[in-house]
């Protein structure tokens, strides 16, 4: 019997695949809209509750604190109970917590609701990329996962528009903005019947009958657009194996794990430090709040060409070259931003910092699931995302302390250095994965009992 991987590999690019991209991409859009909204309500909340710079930095990191735990545990649970269940439950968590946060009467209550919301957004964001990667043939995987990551840009632009129009409109504009970002809870009703479970995961878990059912549904959906699919190669199903977090650190995967963790920390530290504080930093530089929000919208719009140019180049340059190139260009742009003093130079430098930074993320989200076999793919991606969120939650706090001392210049010089660390680690430790089958990239015969710490390097 042909295994699931062989059957997926012979599926051409088609409208069914594009439908899966849109269905999962919508989740990324709402995740990012929820996260980005903090940056736009923060100036209002600072005034409302007379917050210090340090308290504001802590609020800026609130979602990332939850994100860390959500990403780690959703990755682990995704390998244990399935990708689809985690996608739906994390959506419910962040939507409900966001709705409750809109009615906060004190900054401490708002902080904890944003932490809970972060558990949902972190969990969903970490599971969607490996989920879609398991449903797409290797020839198109880079394009699709890069484009999937690109849906984050729509969320940031939507948040910026809501922040520009809704937040300044009334005293409670920030509350209305948060209520709007909680509406995606209704998406779960659609996802429940529209998304298949990953047949690769079902097969790797020994649930061969369920894997066959889901694979047939997928094939039937594809054949509506392509006609009869060709017969796949006759390959035996992979051996059912067992993996855990410790498997990521055995001899076979330890170099990959170190490289991926450094990459995630560098990119996420820079990303959330930049985007969480951007409207506030512009305001502190002397731009009135409406103008700082308008600048932010234009800089967030740069994410769209950033993500989608990288999505295209993922399968042209390859993941490693793309990540190193975009991180290098982002570092140069961040340095230019640190030296900018006029509206035009700030806007141009910020635009390209945004473009190249998020472009590197499109490569990173594609590259990470390719480092591990199916049985630990979700755990590996989720744990890397969780480690990156440590950088993400530290960045707004650190900038809150750093800005009064070193100012605008110091913040973006630091961003330059962190981006360069991510570039160098990927260049030295990374290997290319372009257009290679997931089954070829990783031997699924991981240790059957890797809980033994003697097997950990």
Query: The tokens 């690019």 sit on which residue?
Result: 13
Q: What is each CA distance from 246 to 71, 75, 77, 383, 413, in whole angstroms?
A: 17, 13, 15, 11, 36
Burial 25-45 (b: 16+ CB within 10 A, else e): bbbbbbbbbbbbbbbbbbbbb
Hey, what are 112's tokens? 């904890």
Query: What angle do helix axes 53-60 and 254-284 make, rounded to 10 degrees?
Result: 130
Query: For residue 443, what pLDDT is reported?
Result: 52
Task: Tell me what the pLDDT averaged over the chain comes to.
Answer: 84
Query: For residue 288, what pLDDT is reported?
Result: 57
Comparing 411 with 129, the larger pLDDT belongs to 129
Is residue 279 a contact partner of residue 296, using CB atoms and an 8 Å limit? yes
Confidence of residue 138 (pLDDT cuts 50, 70, 90): confident
Confidence of residue 97 (pLDDT cuts 50, 70, 90): very high
Query: For residue 205, what pLDDT is reported?
Result: 85
As a whole-number percent, the residues of the chain with pLDDT over 90 amount to 38
Query: For residue 449, what pLDDT is reported?
Result: 41
Express each pLDDT in 164-205 by its tens digit: 889 888 889 999 999 998 888 778 778 878 889 999 999 888
Confidence of residue 46 (pLDDT cuts 50, 70, 90): confident
- Alpha helices, H only, 1-49: 4-9, 15-48
Kindly tell me if the per-residue pLDDT of 310 is higher than 80: yes
* pLDDT mean over 367-374: 90
Query: For residue 22, what pLDDT is reported?
Result: 93
| Ranges 191-200, 314-323, 332-341: which has the least confidence | 332-341
Query: For residue 445, what pLDDT is reported?
Result: 41
Q: SS3 breakdown of the chain: % helix, strand, coil, rounded to 5?
A: 80, 0, 20
Express each pLDDT in 210-241 by its tens digit: 999 999 999 999 999 988 988 876 655 555 56
Comparing 11 with 449, the larger pLDDT belongs to 11
Comparing 243 with 25, the larger pLDDT belongs to 25
Express each pLDDT in 64-88 by its tens digit: 788 889 988 998 899 889 999 999 9
Question: Distance between CA 314 and CA 262 in Å, rounded?
Answer: 20
* pLDDT mean over 396-422: 79
Is residue 204 a contact partner of residue 238, using CB atoms and an 8 Å limit? yes
Structural domains of the chain sorted by starting position, each given as residue range(s) with its CATH number in brackets = 4-228+241-455 (1.20.1250.20)
Question: Distance between CA 152 and CA 144 in Å, rounded?
Answer: 14
Confidence of residue 25 (pLDDT cuts 50, 70, 90): very high
Rg of the chain over all Cα atoms, to the nearest angstrom: 21
Give the global pTM: 0.81
Confidence of residue 206 (pLDDT cuts 50, 70, 90): confident
Query: For residue 451, what pLDDT is reported?
Result: 39
Residue among 215, 201, 223 nearest 12 (CA): 223
Contacts of 388 (CB under 8 A, 6+ apart): 261, 264, 265, 267, 268, 269
Express each pLDDT in 237-296 by its tens digit: 555 566 778 888 988 899 999 999 999 999 988 887 777 666 666 666 666 555 666 777
- Segment holding 179, helix H or strand E: helix 173-181
Query: For residue 456, what pLDDT is reported?
Result: 34
Query: For residue 442, what pLDDT is reported?
Result: 61
Kindly tell me if the per-residue pLDDT of 146 is higher than 50: yes
Question: Distance between CA 326 and CA 177 in Å, rounded?
Answer: 33
Cα 122–chain centre separation: 8
Query: For residue 241, what pLDDT is reported?
Result: 63
Q: What is each CA distance from 202 to 2, 79, 80, 157, 221, in whole angstroms?
A: 15, 10, 10, 36, 19
Query: For residue 444, what pLDDT is reported?
Result: 43
DSSP 237: P
Highest mean pLDDT among 191-195, 404-408, 429-433: 429-433
Query: For residue 453, what pLDDT is reported?
Result: 31
- Alpha helices, H only, 285-435: 289-301, 303-314, 319-338, 343-367, 374-429
Grouping H, G, I as helix, E, B as strand and the rest as coil, residue 195 is coil
| Ranges 119-123, 145-149, 205-209, 452-456: which has the least confidence | 452-456
* pLDDT mean over 134-142: 90
């Amino acid at each position: 019997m042909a295994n699931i991987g062989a059957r997926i590999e012979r599926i051409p690019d088609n409208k069914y695949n594009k439908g899966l991209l849109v269905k999962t991409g919508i989740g990324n859009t709402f995740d990012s809209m929820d996260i980005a909204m903090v940056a736009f309500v923060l100036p209002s909340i600072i005034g409302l509750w007379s917050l210090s710079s340090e308290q504001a930095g802590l609020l800026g990191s609130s979602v990332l604190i939850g994100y860390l735990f959500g990403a780690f545990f959703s990755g682990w649970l995704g390998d244990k109970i399935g990708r689809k269940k985690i996608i739906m439950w994390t959506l419910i968590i962040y939507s409900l917590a966001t709705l409750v946060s809109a009615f906060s009467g004190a900054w401490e209550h708002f902080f904890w609701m944003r932490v809970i919301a972060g558990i949902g957004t972190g969990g969903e964001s970490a599971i969607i990329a490996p989920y879609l990667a398991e449903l797409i043939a290797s020839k198109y995987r880079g394009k699709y996962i890069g484009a999937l990551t690109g849906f984050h840009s729509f969320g940031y632009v939507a948040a910026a528009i809501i922040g520009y129009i809704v937040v300044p409109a009334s005293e409670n504009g920030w509350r209305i903005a948060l209520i709007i970002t909680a509406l995606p809870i209704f998406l779960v009703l659609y996802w429940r019947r529209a998304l298949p479970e990953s047949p690769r995961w079902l097969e790797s878990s020994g649930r061969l009958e369920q894997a066959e059912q889901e694979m047939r549904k997928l094939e039937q959906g594809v054949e509506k657009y392509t006609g009869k699919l060709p017969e796949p190669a006759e390959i035996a199903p992979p051996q059912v194996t067992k993996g855990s977090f410790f498997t990521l650190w055995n001899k076979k995967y330890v170099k990959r794990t170190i490289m991926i963790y450094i990459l995630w920390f560098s990119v996420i530290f820079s990303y959330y430090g930049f985007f969480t504080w951007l409207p506030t930093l512009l305001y502190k530089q002397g731009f009135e709040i409406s103008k700082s929000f308008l600048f932010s919208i234009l800089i967030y719009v740069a994410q769209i060409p950033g993500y989608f140019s990288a999505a295209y180049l993922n399968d042209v340059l390859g993941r490693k070259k793309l990540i190193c190139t975009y991180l290098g260009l982002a570092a140069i742009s961040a340095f230019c931003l640190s030296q900018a003093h006029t509206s035009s130079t700030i806007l141009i430098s910020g635009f390209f910092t945004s473009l190249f930074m998020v472009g590197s993320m499109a490569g990173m989200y594609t590259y990470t699931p390719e480092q591990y076999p199916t049985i630990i793919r979700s755990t590996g991606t989720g744990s890397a995302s969780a480690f990156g969120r440590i950088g993400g939650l530290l960045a707004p706090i650190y900038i809150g302390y750093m800005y009064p001392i070193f100012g605008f210049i110091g913040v973006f010089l630091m961003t330059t250095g962190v981006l360069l660390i991510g570039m160098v680690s990927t260049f030295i430790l990374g290997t290319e994965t372009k257009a290679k089958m997931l089954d070829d990239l990783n031997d699924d015969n991981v240790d059957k009992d890797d809980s033994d710490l003697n097997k950990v390097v």
